[in-house]
Amino acid sequence: MKRELAMGVNAVEGLLRQAPERIARVWIRPGSRRLAELESGLRASGVAIEHAQDRALDRMAGRVRHQGVIAEFRPRQPGDDRRLLELLEREDGEALYLLLDGVQDPSNLGACLRTAAAAAVTAVIIPKNKAAGLTPAARRAAAGAAECVELITVTNLARTLRLMADHHIWRIGLAAGTGSSLFGARLDGALALVLGGEESGLRRLTREHCDELVEIPMPGSVESLNVSVAAGIALFAAVERRLR
C-alpha cells in the first residue's frame, strides 16, 4: 500500500488516536511541551521516531504547515461506486450520508470529514473530478478523521443521487433562497445531505436530483456560510432529530 505523509500536530495526534497501527514512522522536532507529549505517546505505541530540525521538515512538507511533526503512514483508501452500492444494500433505515458537490478547498474537505466523523456519518461522498481530494492539507484539517469516516469518490454525482433514491434515501440539498428552512425539513430516517461548492453552490443537475431544497435561516447581516460550517449545522440538526 502506498504511504503518505500527515503533517501537523492535530493530524498526527488524530492518527495516533484513531489508527496507530497505520503509522510507519515519524519525524519530530524536539522542543515544545506538546511535541514532547506527542513523542511520548508515539513511543508508547511503538512508532519509530527520528528527530529532525525545521529545515529538513520544511523540505519534506513543501507548502503544507508541519508544526514540527510529520508522520509517514498507510492511509485508509477512499471507496468507489461499488463500495457505495455495498453500503446502500445493507442500509438499515438510519443511514446518514454527506455529499459534497464540487468542494475545491482541501481544508474545507478536511473540516467536513472531521465534522462527519463526530456526527457518525455513514459515508462522505465526493465526485472524482473538479473537487478537492484527500491531500495532505485535507488530512491535516481532518485531524485524523480521514482514518475513521468512510470517504467515497464517485464518477457521477447525479447518478449517485438517483441510486440513493432507488434505495429509499431521502435527499436534501442546501441552497440559498429556497424559502424553506433546514429545521423544518424531514431529517430522520435514511438521509443524504447535499452541499455545493464554495463559489457556485449546488449544480443544476444536483439540485434536480434532490427531494427537497432547504436553506439555513440567517437572520443576521451575513448572507452565506463556509461550506464546512454549513455541513456542521446540517449534520447536527439531523443528529438532534434522531436523538429525540
Q: CA distances (Å), 147 to each of 33, 97, 131, 181, in order?
A: 26, 17, 20, 33
Higher per-residue pLDDT: 174 or 93:
174
Which pLDDT belongs to residue 218?
A: 86
Question: Are 17 and 118 found together in one domain?
Answer: no
Give yes or no for residue 206 having a pLDDT over 70. yes
Tally of domains in the chain: 2
Give yes or no for residue 33 having a pLDDT over 80. yes
What does the pLDDT look like over 161-185, one tens digit per residue? 999 999 999 999 999 888 899 999 9
This prediction's pTM: 0.80
Mean of the per-residue pLDDT values of the chain: 90
Rounded Cα gap, residues 143 and 147, in angstroms: 9
Q: Which of 50, 73, 96 is the last residue of a domain?
A: 73
CB atoms near residue 130 (< 10 Å): 11
> CATH number for the domain including 40?
3.30.1330.30
Give yes or no for residue 122 having a pLDDT over 90. yes
Share of the chain above pLDDT 70, in %: 100
Give yes or no for residue 159 having a pLDDT over 90. yes
Sorted by sequence, the CB contacts under 8 Å of residue 210 that are 6+ apart come out as 161, 171, 172, 173, 194, 202
Question: Are 118 and 226 found together in one domain?
Answer: yes
Question: Are 57 and 124 found together in one domain?
Answer: no
Report the pLDDT averaged over residues 97-109: 92
> CATH number for the domain including 160?
3.40.1280.10
Rounded Cα gap, residues 5 and 7, in angstroms: 6
Give yes or no for residue 143 having a pLDDT over 80. no
Rounded Cα gap, residues 150 and 159, in angstroms: 19
Question: Are 32 and 86 found together in one domain?
Answer: no
Report the pLDDT averaged over residues 23-46: 94
Report the pLDDT averaged over residues 195-202: 85
Which pLDDT belongs to residue 146?
A: 77
Least Cα distance to 153 among 116, 123, 128, 117 occurs for: 128
Q: Which of 12, 41, 73 is the last residue of a domain?
A: 73
Which pLDDT belongs to residue 1?
A: 58
Instruction: Residue 140: give the domain boundaries.
Output: 81-242
